[in-house]
Amino acid sequence: MTVRTALVTGAQQGIGAAAARALAAAGHDIAINWLDDQAAAEAVAAEIRAAGRRAVLLQGSVGTANECAALVQGAIDALGRIDVLVNNAGIFPRVEFLQMTEGEWDRVLDVNLKGSAFCAQAAARHMVAHGIRGVILNLSSSSVRGAVLGVHYSATKTGIIGITRSMALALAPHGIRVNAIAPGLTDTAQPRYGNTDAELAEMAKALPLGRMGRPEEIAGLMAYLASDAAEWITGQVYHINGGVYLA
C-alpha cells in the first residue's frame, strides 16, 4: 500500500503547523517547510513522528520559481512522492496604502501569489508525470473583502481564488483537485502581529460566533478536502470565518 505524503509550506507555526498535524493524523507522511524558526519546525516534526508518521524538514522561502521548484524536489527526494500540497506560506507586512512602496508590493506578491502558483506548478508536474491523482490546497483569506493596511495582501488573497479556479480547470483532466480555503480571524501570529490583545478581543466579539478561530479548525477542513471523501470537489473556495459574512 502506497503511503500518501503532503508538503505544507510555512508549517513552522499557526495554520501551517496545524495542517501538518492534521494531515499526519489522517495518514500522511509530511514535509514541513519552514523559514526562520527551526526549533518550532522541529517541535512539529517531533509530534508527527511520535504519532507514527514520517516528517522531514525543508528550510526555505517560496518567493521565486526556482525556490519553489527546489522545495518541491526536496520533498520528493525525502518522501518519494507528493500527493498533497498545502500552499500556506504567506506574509502580511502592514503598511498604509499611501506609503506603500513598489518593493513592499513586489515582496508580498512574490511570496503569497507567485509562490503559491509555482509551488503548485512544480507539484502538479510531479503528479502528472507519475499518475498521481493529487490535491492542491491554497490559502486565501477573508481579506478578499479588503484590508486597510494590506492592499498588497488583499490583492494576493483575491488572486489566490483566481489561480485556484484556473488551476482546477487545467488539472482536472489529470485527476488533480485544487481548492482554496479562506480563513477569517484566526488565533495565530499574523493577527497578533498587528493588533493588541484588547483589539483582538473586540474584533472577535464582533463575529457572529463571538470568538477567533483556531488553527486546528482550519486544518480540519484541509484534511477533509485532501481525503477521498472529497474526491468530487474541485475549484471551490471555502470561507471558514465564524460567520463573518453573515454580519
Catalytic residues: 153
DSSP label at 58? E
Rounded to the nearest angstrom, the gap between the alpha carbon of residue 171 and the centroid of all alpha carbons in its chain is: 19
Residue listed under C-alpha cell 513586489: 106
Count of CA atoms in the C-beta half-sphere (13 A) of 95: 18
Q: Which residues pair with 7 in a beta bridge?
A: 31, 85
Per-residue HEC secondary structure of 110-155 comes to HHHHHHHHHHHHHHHHHHHHCCCCCEEEEECCHHHHCCCCCHHHHH
Among the listed residues 169, 162, 64, the one whose alpha carbon sits nearest the alpha carbon of residue 118: 64
Contact 137, 144 (CB under 8 A): no
Contacts of residue 23, defined as CB under 8 A and 6 or more positions apart, other chains included, come to: 6, 8, 30, 84, 86, 219, 222, 223, 226
Residue 32 dihedral angles phi and psi, to the nearest 5°: -100, 110
